[in-house]
Structure 1
Amino acid sequence: MSQAIASRPLVSLAMPETGAARLLTQGFLVLAGTLVLTLSAKTKVMLGPVDLSLQTLAILLIAACLGTRLAVATLLLYLAEGAMGFPVFQSTPEKGIGLAYMAGPTGGYLIGFVVMAAIAGYAADRGWDRNIVKLFGAMLVAEVAMMALGFGWLTVLIGTEKAWTFGVLPFIVPDLIKVALAACLVPAGWAALRGLGIAR
């Protein structure tokens, strides 16, 4: 197997090489990804006073499986759905919908999701999704980038101290756990496929 083929993300195993079938498959994967993101946003885990979703875990897994281009396309379509007023985000419709919601406290994190997908997908494109250590490092960078954008926008809205206290600090440990979980699941998936003779 060539290095180019070996470095493709997981989705390449089921992706037609060319033609309309490839485009249809890509479109289906992107649309399905937005559904997964919506479901993960609505799946809430209570950790003390903090209301967490599984969305960052879903983003990391989608990016690692789809690669940069399809992962970013998935996140952009997801944001477009939200901008059009579909209740795809964690606190919609109860806390607003559309662009008004996106300009609120979560706006920086939403933009950060795209950056997160790009970084994790970039790692998968280079074959790092086979190595737990490399993938964890890339996903950690993706997580920090997302949190930095969220923190930056919150700082504009509510000030630095409150942004750190309410927008970053409660999420550090839970998000580290999600990064570690994603970094373990994807290489484990590759190992299982190799064991079945489906991948190398």
Structure 2
Amino acid sequence: MATALTARPLVSLALPESGAWRLVGQCALAIAGTLLLTLSAKTKVVLGPVDMSLQTLAVFMIAAAFGMRLAVATLLLYMAQGAMGLPVFQGTPEKGIGIAYMLGSTGGYLAGFVAMAAIVGWAADRGWDRNPFKLFGAMLTAEVVMMVMGFAWLAMLIGVEKSWQFGVVPFIVPDLIKVALGSALVPAIWSLLPRQR
């Protein structure tokens, strides 16, 4: 029983234990999470032929702070916003909007974000978000799953070689940095809350 109590994700500290206000709080957090995802998608760092965004880091942080259920719900809400034509993704609206954009070259990565949220959120639900090494392992696993999904989808569209060259290689080092940063930040926040550990 003690394990279950100490393994709550970070945002659970700010939410009521149960009732309507907890649901209202979760809805507000999910909407705030989609705003963060949109902002992170639009924050670009241009390195060579590829635009880098902070979106991977945002997914890591949301998943680690929200836990699996709320993180996956947040990502699905974000995908629904994009499917409805809202310009929430990195390449929207200039490269298209809605379902057509989601089925394009970034489709596998977008689906991978949901898998990332599930993996890191699952780890947070088990208290791994308090340990930088365990959280690093979870985030690295989530990163690999997302990249595999993105690569597989892109390979169907442009071929394996180009998919590896343009869809994987340029992201390896930047995304490893985001994994390291995310796995350090959340445990650091927990360390400021010693009575909650």
What is the TM-score normalised by the length of structure 2? 0.98
Match of 1:102 in 2: 102
Secondary structure of the residue aligned to 2:94 is coil
Q: Tell me the amino acid that sits aligned with residue 137 of structure 1.
A: G
Q: Tell me the amino acid that sits aligned with residue 151 of structure 1.
A: F
Alpha-carbon deviation of 1:161?
A: 0.2
Match of 2:150 in 1: 150
Secondary structure of the residue aligned to 2:192 is helix
Alpha-carbon deviation of 1:3?
A: 1.1
User: Structure 2 stretches of 5 or more lacking a match?
Assistant: none
Alpha-carbon deviation of 1:48?
A: 3.2
Q: Tell me the amino acid that sits aligned with residue 61 of structure 1.
A: M
Match of 2:92 in 1: 92
In 2, Cα distance between the equivalents of 1:183 and 1:19?
32
Match of 1:138 in 2: 138
Alpha-carbon deviation of 1:147?
A: 0.4
Match of 1:123 in 2: 123
Question: For 1:14-63, what per-residue CA distance to the aligned partner results, in whole angstroms no more than 9, with x for missing partners?
Answer: 11111110100000000110000000000011223321000000000000
Does residue 176 of structure 2 align to residue 160 of structure 1? no
In 1, Cα distance between the equivalents of 2:95 and 2:37?
18
What is the TM-score normalised by the length of structure 1? 0.97
Number of residue equivalences: 197
User: Structure 1 stretches of 5 or more lacking a match?
Assistant: none
In 2, Cα distance between the equivalents of 1:43 and 1:193?
30
Identical aligned residues as a percent:
72
Alpha-carbon deviation of 1:171?
A: 0.2
In 2, Cα distance between the equivalents of 1:179 and 1:50?
19
Alpha-carbon deviation of 1:12?
A: 1.0
